[in-house]
Amino acid sequence: MNENMLWQYARLVVGVGINVKKGQPVTVNCPVECAAFGRLLTKAAFGAGAKDVFMVWRDDFVSRERWLHADDTMFDAVPAWDVLMSKELIKQGAGRISIAASDPENLKGVDPERLRRWSAAAGRDLKEVSRDVMANVVPWCVVSVPIPSWAKKVFPGIPEDEAMEKLWRAIFKAVRITEDGDAVENWREHCADLEGKARAMTEFDFEELHYVNSSGTDLYVKMPENNVWMAGGELTKGGVKFVANMPTEEVFSAPLRTGVNGVLAASKPLVLHGNVVEGIRFTFRDGRITGIHADRNEETLRAEVELDEGSHYLGEIALVPYDSPISNSGILFYNTLFDENASCHFAFGQAYPSCVKDGEELSTEELAEKGLNADSSTHVDFMVGTRDLSIIGKTRDGKTVKVFENGNFAI
Ligand code: ZN
Ligand code: ZN
């Protein structure tokens, strides 16, 4: 791969993604197959003045072996040292970089009961950690680089090195890195565009949005009072601007917990716990998921929805035009970081506190009082956008506004 583009990418993640400050520790969660990029991130982080860089190596092979063969008692609790490390790094203000790259079917055939128990354990033991991350106590950034097993799933039927090359090219395009361009400048402009759209959505002060398309989606979504739409960059509690996802194309908020009614049909497969879930359909009544269906791996999906009370409710509503760069690539990435940024989506589970005015200052109970789905140990995005999606909004002062028409923004 082009060295100049790789180095631009590493500097972009460190400089704009987590926006590292002098003397700040950095942690990188990195698959072993991405070691070369992990090293570049380390170099870029020290170059930007990081106090230290802590690598957390991951490996699909080792992980699958553990899932299949580790002692059964290992799936009911997160090891105390792991919890401690995460908490301590947050306490020290460490920026968190995570590289999302995995074989989409790495855990195929693993006992779903193990996955369910682990999900529950991780949700419980890492609750404080994920709450702090979602409330932007520290800057965090999820990015991706290709690995062979994943590239072959995205581009089947061609040699591995060609698939890797194609996936690299697709990722660079998605994160706006060109050979002779200025990635940081590209991102500044891109974030400003998205933030403008988010401000417009907030100013409308929508009370309800009605989704309809020909795949069977017919859904009414009420919004909480003082809802805030977010996009592009976010601020940490300490006021540092960072970008949580690279790429990002979404404008998002959180629905009123008890205000969702109707049917929602997913438009893309969802990779969940190393399994591919296809053909998802949810039915909602007063916010609660009352019907769950998937054509494939329904059990994996059902276990996650039934994880806790909050996982039965939506925590995110996100708008992405059908006619947008990642969507136009026509590539199904089998990786939520990319697929959610190619499609309107929702997430079930925990809402981001920033989606309601001054939400980052509020406790879980206060956020719940404002109408957010504030207490779940999961957050799973799933894609619903289609070419023919229409969204009609009703504002709190009684106006009707076409928000989406034929899959794209109409405002
Ligand atoms: Zn989202
Ligand atoms: Zn999400």
Ligand 1 centroid–CA 195 distance in Å is: 14
Candidates 201, 178, 191; CA nearest to 248 is 191
Distances in Å between the Cα of 253 and the Cα atoms of 199, 216, 359 are 11, 23, 12
Give SS3 for 151: helix
Residue 90 has pLDDT above 80, yes or no: yes
Residue 180 has pLDDT above 90, yes or no: no
Q: Can you tell me the distance from the alpha carbon of 13 to that of 263, in angstroms, rounded to the nearest whole number? A: 38
6-62: per-residue pLDDT in tens?
A: 999 999 999 999 999 999 999 999 999 999 999 999 999 999 999 999 999 999 999
198-222: per-residue pLDDT in tens?
A: 999 999 999 999 999 999 999 999 9
pTM over 0.85: yes
Here the tokens at position 230 are 């977010």
324 vs 35, which has greater pLDDT? 35
Q: Can you tell me the distance from the alpha carbon of 408 to that of 4, in angstroms, rounded to the nearest whole number? A: 35
Candidates 404, 407, 57; CA nearest to 197 is 404
Residues whose Cβ atom is located within 5 A of ion ligand 2: 316, 347, 381
Residue 398 has pLDDT above 80, yes or no: yes
Give SS3 for 141: strand
Q: Can you tell me the distance from the alpha carbon of 259 to that of 132, in angstroms, rounded to the nearest whole number? A: 26
Ligand 1 centroid–CA 252 distance in Å is: 6
Mean per-residue pLDDT for 97-118?
94
77-86, 110-119, 226-235, 330-339: segment of lowest average pLDDT: 110-119
Q: In terms of DSSP bridges, do strands 26-31 and 95-99 run parallel, antiparallel, or are they unpaired? A: parallel
Mean per-residue pLDDT for 336-365?
95
Q: Can you tell me the distance from the alpha carbon of 91 to that of 103, in angstroms, rounded to the nearest whole number? A: 32
Q: Can you tell me the distance from the alpha carbon of 259 to that of 372, in angstroms, rounded to the nearest whole number? A: 10
Distances in Å between the Cα of 317 and the Cα atoms of 45, 224, 379 are 33, 12, 12
How many other C-beta atoms can be found within 10 angstroms of the C-beta atom of residue 155?
19
Q: How many CA atoms lie within 13 A of 129 on its CB side?
A: 20
In this predicted structure, what is the pLDDT of residue 128?
A: 93
Residue 1 has pLDDT above 80, yes or no: no
List, in sequence order, every beta strand (DSSP E) within 16-162: 26-31, 53-58, 95-99, 140-143
The band of 251, judged by pLDDT with boundaries at 50, 70 and 90, is: very high
Ligand 1 centroid–CA 169 distance in Å is: 23
Ligand 2 centroid–CA 147 distance in Å is: 23
Ligand 1 centroid–CA 354 distance in Å is: 13
Residue 113 DSSP symbol: H
- Mean pLDDT over the full length of the chain: 96
Distances in Å between the Cα of 150 and the Cα atoms of 3, 4, 145 are 22, 24, 10
Tell me the fold of 3-174.
Thermophilic metalloprotease-like (3.40.1830)
Q: In terms of DSSP bridges, do strands 281-285 and 288-293 run parallel, antiparallel, or are they unpaired? A: antiparallel
In this predicted structure, what is the pLDDT of residue 198?
A: 97
Ligand 1 centroid–CA 345 distance in Å is: 7
Ligand 2 centroid–CA 349 distance in Å is: 9
Q: Can you tell me the distance from the alpha carbon of 229 to that of 236, in angstroms, rounded to the nearest whole number? A: 16
Mean per-residue pLDDT for 80-94?
97
List, in sequence order, every beta strand (DSSP E) within 186-333: 206-212, 218-222, 230-231, 234-235, 241-242, 251-253, 260-265, 270-272, 275-277, 281-285, 288-293, 314-319
Q: Quickly list H helices, 18-79.
A: 35-47, 60-69
Ligand 1 centroid–CA 316 distance in Å is: 7
Name the residue ranges covered by the structural domains of the chain. Answer: 3-174, 183-409
**Inter-axis angle of helices 112-125 and 127-134, nearest 10:** 70
Cβ-contact 245, 252 below 8 angstroms: no
In this predicted structure, what is the pLDDT of residue 73?
A: 94
Residue 160 has pLDDT above 80, yes or no: yes
Ligand 2 centroid–CA 248 distance in Å is: 11
Ligand 1 centroid–CA 158 distance in Å is: 31
Partners of 277 in beta bridges: 270
Ligand 2 centroid–CA 379 distance in Å is: 6
